[in-house]
Structure 1
Amino acid sequence: MSDRTMRLTAWLGAQLGAPPLAMTAVAGDASARRYWRIELGHRTLIAMDAPPEREDGRRFARIAAAWRAVGLNLPQVLAADFEQGFLLISDLGTKTFLEVLDAERAERLYRDALGALILIQDRAPTTGLPAYDEALLRRELAIFDDWLLAGLLGLSLRDGELRALATIRDLLVDNALQQPQVAVHRDYHSRNLMVSTPSPGILDFQDAVLGPLTYDLVSLLRDCYIAWPAERVQAWLHDYLDLAQERRILDPGLIDRVPRWMDLMGVQRHLKAAGIFARLKLRDGRPGYLADIPRTLDYVLAVARAYPELAPLADLIDGRVVPAFRAARAGGEERTT
């Protein structure tokens, strides 16, 4: 047991009045946070270790309280020591959507997820949320270049590719900024939605921002961890648009713009995600996420092939990135520094 885990255990004992009956490590997210399920006999709680030099526990607690107040099912913070980075929170369940999703359950679970998304966009307070502004969008796009192209694959872009991608980045940034701005969870997908009552339980919300209407929508419908047929995604998009109009989140005059907004927003998100998955391997020693890179690149390719202005991106990914990635995986030769 590490020194930090020993300190967490001692802190939990002080909060609970006795040491936990059992502490079981819980699979976490891609952050520096770690989680344990605490057994108390008649119920379970979650202990969260969020090192304060890398994670903002106060922000987690603040957003959790604000979003719970409008009816969303987020963890309740029961005790916290922000200086040490320890939090004791309620347990939203043991199964993520990803673990139970199949063709039969998908309709009910996605209906729940879309309903909660509408509530986030309609009622979650935005005061104090940082803006998903141009600077942040461009920093995120650079993750693809730095960590996947250069870092993992060792690819150098040619002058023409660099110019074309600069133009495409401008297009993606403009697309995000021209959309209605709402509260954005920023990682709203099947691994962060829990099978819970009420449904869904929502995790990993602490990086919420004020940003584009379609960001969470495309995160959910074109999930980095599970893909659905285009016809089903289109049906869910129509369900969302009906709800958004009912709640007056979206002006009816903008409805026709949403599919393009979502497509281009998805390109930005999936380029970033592919870069993050490479970074998790190279920087954090977590190679399991490499298996999700092909799915994110497939999403980008599907959109890029449908929009002439994105053709250079499709050519780059199809002609250079995908072959280099396949060769690296086949040979086990991904760069490690």
Structure 2
Amino acid sequence: MINAVMNPDVKTTATERSIHLQEWLKPWLNRSPIPLTPVAGDASFRRYFRVEAADSRKGTSLILMDAPPDKENSERFLQLARAWQPLGIRVPTVHQACTQLGAALLEDFGDQQLMQAVREEDPASASPFYHQALQQLAHLQVQATHCPTAASLPNYDEALLQREMDLFDDWLLGQLLKLPDHDRPDGWTAFRQSLVDSALEQPRVVVHRDYHSRNLMLLPDHQLGILDFQDAVIGPCTYDAVSLIRDCYLMWPEAIQDQWQEQARQLHCRNFETIHATDWQRWFDLMGMQRHLKAAGIFARLWLRDGKAGYLKDIPRTLQHLQHALARHSEFQPISQWLHNQLMPQLEIQLDSLLNTPA
């Protein structure tokens, strides 16, 4: 029975897939079949289920990752988890995996995300968590960059940086707001190119590429468990720090953001090469602009293509991060004015219509 689902040409129903997964799990279970408890997922087609400790032969709870191979490729996640975990990078242990089935049995990092442990109205209490997250990021960058698997990672090159920004043009501007191609601010192409140029001139390290409060889990040993690293690349040294500090799901006061990014710079200087604060600030700001364009486009696509409406409410905050960064750089004033005077009002009207219309 299980061989059928391993054949990509054989389509299976959800019930059949559940049976295959239960069969695959049997060696790890005290009884079979067992109820599988869904746990929080992500923006992909992967699903996660908890095997409770009472049902597990290990005596501890485990996480079943269900990643149908016709929709998700789990090989990079498994490769990196197995390579990074012995280096002290706090990623989940892989107990068992089958890429043909698209399943893996992982260490359980629990349910508490960093996002749930901090409050925007109390940034001082969040600082210890962010200092920890930045310390662990620095460790990841040092260890993973010098790990043999780094040679197999894609480069965060110009083509990829531009494709990511195309998501903003295509999905948010074109599909969500229905803006024609000519309705862009003066200098839009040059602006995008400046973000690419800034990214490419930075020192290169391993980049997690989605290092933020929803992918960091609070663990009993006071470490932060790191998830969702399968899209890692070799790329700009500021990328993961800006992803964490200017998180699409949180908005911290600029003063504390500046404190955290200075910690990130000092950690980089200690572990790699010295970067002047002025250079770091510009790289950090422009890297954030590129990421927030990409993220806003992805959030629009998640609604339009995948029917995931929950991410629509994150678009305004993501573009607020973009606005704040643009305000620091006078050469981008036309972009800033277009965003403030044209795009944001149109977006507000569209989101109000979508979010407040009865289903």
Q: For the superposition of Structure 1 and Structure 2, which TM-score range results when normalised by the shorter chain?
A: over 0.9
Once the two structures are superposed, residues 213-252 of structure 1 have per-residue CA deviations (whole angstroms, 9 ceiling, x without a partner) of 00001000000001110111111112222222222x2324
Indicate the residue corresponding to 2:302 in structure 1. 280
Give the structure 1 partner of residue 164 of structure 2: 140
Does the CA-based 8 Å contact 1:20-1:38 persist in structure 2? no
Q: Greater CA deviation, 66-75 or 129-138?
A: 66-75
Kept in 2: contact 1:214–1:265 (CA 8 A):
yes
Give the aligned partner of residue 50 of structure 2.
37
Q: What's the offset of the Cα at 1:18?
A: 3.4
Contact 2:186–2:335 (CA<8 Å) still a contact in 1? no
Determine the structure 1 residue equivalent to 2:339: 317
Q: Is the 8 A contact 1:168 1:309 kept in 2?
A: no
Selected match of 2:192 from 141, 144, 169: 169
- Per the alignment, residue 158 of structure 1 pairs with 182
Q: Which runs of 5+ in 2 are unaligned?
A: 1-13
Q: Distance in 2 between matches of 1:237 and 1:267?
A: 15
Q: Is the Cα contact below 8 Å between 2:186 and 2:334 reproduced in 1? A: no
Q: CA deviation at 1:15?
A: 4.2
Who is 2:133 aligned against?
Answer: 113
> CA shift at 1:20, angstroms?
6.1
Match runs of 1:229-308 below 5 Å: 229-247=253-271, 249-252=272-275, 254-308=276-330
Q: 2:69 aligns with which of 24, 44, 52?
A: 52
Q: Distance in 2 between matches of 1:39 and 1:21?
A: 9
**Is residue 195 of structure 1 aligned with residue 218 of structure 2?**
yes
8 Å contact from structure 1 (residues 21, 39) kept in 2: no
Please tell me whether residue 184 in structure 1 is matched to residue 222 in structure 2.
Answer: no
- TM-score, normalization: structure 1? 0.93
SS of equivalent to 1:284: coil
Which secondary structure state, in structure 2, belongs to the residue aligned with residue 303 of structure 1?
helix
Q: Which moved more, 1:102-111 or 1:298-307?
A: 102-111
Q: Is the 8 A contact 2:113 2:213 kept in 1?
A: yes
**Separation of aligned partners in 2, 1:282 and 1:153:** 11
Mean Cα displacement is larger for which, 30-39 or 14-23?
14-23
| Structure 1: segments with no counterpart, 5+ residues | none
1:171-204 deviations in Å (ceiling 9; x for gaps) = 0000000000000000000000000125110000
1:13: Cα distance to partner?
1.9
Q: Which residue of 1 aligns with 2:251?
A: 227
After TM superposition, where is structure 1 displaced by more than 4 Å over at least 4 residues in a row?
none
SS in 1 for 2:151: coil
* Residue from 70, 76, 80 that aligns with 1:63: 80
**Contact kept in structure 2, 1:185 and 1:207, CA below 8 Å:** yes
- TM-aligned CA distance change 1:36 to 1:157, over 3 Å: same
For 2:355 and 2:47, the matched residues in 1 are separated by 29
How far 1:68 sits from its partner (Å)? 1.1
Q: Which moved more, 1:2-11 or 1:43-52?
A: 2-11
- The match for 1:27 among 40, 48, 69 is 40
Distance 2:203 2:273 in 1: 8
Query: What do you get for the CA RMSD once the two structures are aligned?
Result: 1.8
Amino acid at match of 1:167: A
TM-score, length basis structure 2: 0.88
Identity level (%): 44
Shift of residue 156, structure 1, vs aligned partner = 1.6
